[in-house]
Amino acid sequence: VGAGDLMTASFGGSAVGLTIVWAAVAGAVLKWFLTEGIARWQMGTDCTLLVGWKERLGRWLQIVFLVYLLAWSFFTGGALVAACGVAGTGLLPLTADPTHSKIIWGVVHSLLGLLLVRVGGFKLFERMMATCIAVMFVAVVATAVLLAPDWAGVAKGLVLPRIPEGDLGWVLGLLGGVGGTVTLLSYGYWVREEGRQGMSGLRACRIDLLVGYSMTALFGVAMVMIGSRVTLDGGGANAAPRLAAQLGDLMGPGGSWIFLVGFWGAVFSSLLGVWQSVPYLFADFWALWKGTPGERRESIDYANTRPYRVYQVALALVPLPLLLISVKQAQLIYAIMGAFFMPLLAVTLLILNNSRWLGERFRNGWLANAV
């Protein structure tokens, strides 16, 4: 949860109002089933989904995924550093020109995130994420409630799903952006770090995913509610200050500061999550591409391999030029690109999780197949 949910939901809510609130919930439900499917494959086979793709579906899928991963990493990295730049500018403008301040803060957050996840390791990463997400969740939900929203409109948006004419992009972006995209695959590496295995591991995964995606749905709905009460034309470097100023008019200065702190917690936790987890995917890809034997691959500490470190540094540095384009434009590109990953993931999980390669206890049920 982070920048995709916050930025896309607020811009979407501002553009089309509460009519798309259903997409935040639908996105979270969809992501629960997809991530549970990833966990089920891993708990049942003791290998990551990338291994399943290569060994069961062929090397061609590996190549397709690598091309997509490189493009996604570039645009996602750019959207995240831009969002962090906006959040930093909202809390403490460094220059009179908000665009320059956004660029400086974006670079600072990118390098700080790299330092924290590189030096601190997985345990510091867990603590940082827990802190940022707690701040984000409490602040954003409190802001939504304090705005005294149109609860009837929220209920209508939830029970009568519809796509506003000409606004399919925002619906697709919200479905794609809420609760992660390519980063869903990172869950397999996080549970590997925790040592989860078998049915007991799967039960633990289902519980934390249920809690996590319930919060994700609530967070997405809250951001659409906030966005529906403000005007976000343009969407440049002053998006956060402008949003906070309008919230301040509605709730007072305290309300705007609550939101700005929550905004920062959301986007910086999102950056930390990507900087720490996506290099796992490249490191796993690299080990598979080189033909590392399975038993040796399972014992690799990916976070300390050269491919992981190189990709992590590239993630923090290569997308920085995207700080020069519109925040709103970068966010929509990132969210829609993420949405295009969902069909690929869904189709491969339908194949792998219904196959004889997975034990009967771990195979898809009718509900998972239907979703």
In the structure, what pLDDT confidence band is assigned to residue 5 with cuts at 50, 70 and 90? low
Least confident of 45-59, 122-136, 202-216, 240-254: 240-254
Supply the mean pLDDT for the chain.
84
CA 1/CA 78 separation, integer angstroms: 17
pLDDT tens digits along 167-226? 777 777 777 777 777 888 888 888 888 888 899 999 999 999 999 899 888 888 888 888
DSSP 142-182: HHHHHT---HHHHHHHHHS----TT-HHHHHHHHHHTT-SG
CA 86/CA 80 separation, integer angstroms: 10
pLDDT tens digits along 28-48? 999 999 999 999 999 998 888
How far from chain centre, in Å, is Cα 127? 18
Q: Which two tokens stand for residue 335?
A: 């969210």
Other CB atoms within 10 Å distance of the CB of residue 180? 28
Residue 197: DSSP 8-state:
-
- Say what the pLDDT of residue 311 is: 96
Give this prediction's pTM: 0.83
- Say what the pLDDT of residue 104 is: 94
CA atoms within 13 A on the CB side of 274: 31
- Say what the pLDDT of residue 106 is: 93
CA 349/CA 258 separation, integer angstroms: 40
CA distances from 207 to 29, 97, 226 (A): 14, 46, 29
Contacts of 59 by beta carbon, 8 Å cutoff, 6+ apart: none
In the structure, what pLDDT confidence band is assigned to residue 1 with cuts at 50, 70 and 90? low
Least confident of 5-14, 70-79, 90-99, 143-152: 5-14
For residues 132 and 269, the answer to whether their CB atoms sit within 8 Å is yes
Collapsing DSSP to helix, strand or coil, 62 comes out as helix
